[in-house]
């Protein structure tokens, strides 16, 4: 079912402007770690604007949707989004750029709104499709955001549930950009499948 949701994600993520479907060279030879994971996942080198990149393990090659406008609360966000789905799982890697000002100068409330609005908007179509297929209301629940520091930059993590599925989103703010990883899994797989995705990613950014 999650494969069918990828197109829906693309539609709901990008509200205005031109959307380019990209097929970048995702060869992991440029990553510090490039071997397969213990579960057999390939490593992918995902590029954003200005030569920035994120290296991450994924169960399959993602599709790229570039230059769209995201739902992120009241702050406009332009983004390149990589999406992968299958086996009732969802993975997203998001490069956000052209924020209205440096995130170091933003109040915490605005950064919290950007983070919440982005991941919440990303999974909304998933919620609607599951609700329609099951004929039952599907509730989104979430824990409080937790602050972290990644490579000296302000970062946040938030756990959530979509019906019975478990999800997690992480974001790092750098200058007028932000970088986000998001995943959703059935509860019996969430811990095992989230570990390689989140714990072994590499981020190459420019200030």
Nearest-10 crossing angle of helices 108-134, 2-13:
130
Task: Identify the bridge partners of residue 165 per DSSP, sorted by sequence position.
Answer: 162
The pair of structure tokens assigned to 202 is 């590499």
**Each residue's pLDDT tens digit, 106-115:** 999 999 999 9
Residue 2 near residue 86, CB atoms below 8 Å = yes
How far, in Å, CA of 130 to CA of 67, rounded? 27
pLDDT band at 42 (very low <50, low <70, confident <90, very high): very high
Note the Cα 170 to chain centre separation in Å: 8
Q: What is the mean pLDDT of the chain?
A: 84
Q: What is the CA radius of gyration of the chain?
A: 16
Asked if 198 and 183 touch (Cβ cutoff 8 Å), the reply is yes
Instruction: Report, as an integer, the average pLDDT of 122-137.
Output: 83
Cα separation, 198 vs 58, in Å, equals 10
**What phi-psi label fits residue 140: left (phi over 0), alpha (psi between -120 and 50 degrees) or beta?**
beta
Per-residue b or e along 112-136, where b marks 16 or more CB atoms closer than 10 Å to that residue's CB: bbbbbbbbbbbbbbbbebbeeeeee
Q: Is the pLDDT of residue 14 over 50?
A: no
What does the pLDDT average to over 13-29? 56
What pLDDT is stored for residue 128 in this prediction?
82
Average pLDDT over residues 93-99: 91
Quick one: average pLDDT of 123-143?
86
Backbone angles phi, psi at 198, to 5 degrees: -90, -40
Which residues does residue 41 pair with via DSSP β-bridges, in sequence order?
none
DSSP state for residue 75 in the 8-state scheme: S
End-to-end alpha-carbon separation of the chain, Å? 39
């Amino acid at each position: 079912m999650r494969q069918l949701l990828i197109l829906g994600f693309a539609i709901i993520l990008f509200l205005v402007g031109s959307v380019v479907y990209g097929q970048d060279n995702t060869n992991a030879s440029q990553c510090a770690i490039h071997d397969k994971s213990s579960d057999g996942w390939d490593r992918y080198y995902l590029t954003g604007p200005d030569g920035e990149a994120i290296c991450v393990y994924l169960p399959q090659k993602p599709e790229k949707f570039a230059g769209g406008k995201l739902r992120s609360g009241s702050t406009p966000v332009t983004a390149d989004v990589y999406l992968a789905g299958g086996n009732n799982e969802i993975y997203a890697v998001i490069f956000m750029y052209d924020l209205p000002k440096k995130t170091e100068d933003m109040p915490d409330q605005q950064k919290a709104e950007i983070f919440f609005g982005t991941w919440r908007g990303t999974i909304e179509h998933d919620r609607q499709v599951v609700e329609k297929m099951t004929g039952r209301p599907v509730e989104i629940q979430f824990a409080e955001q937790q602050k972290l520091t990644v490579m000296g930059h302000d970062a946040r993590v938030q756990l959530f549930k979509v019906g019975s599925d478990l999800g997690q989103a992480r974001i790092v703010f750098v200058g007028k950009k932000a970088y986000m990883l998001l995943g959703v899994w059935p509860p019996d797989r969430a811990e095992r499948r989230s570990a390689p995705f989140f714990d072994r990613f590499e981020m190459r950014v420019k200030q």
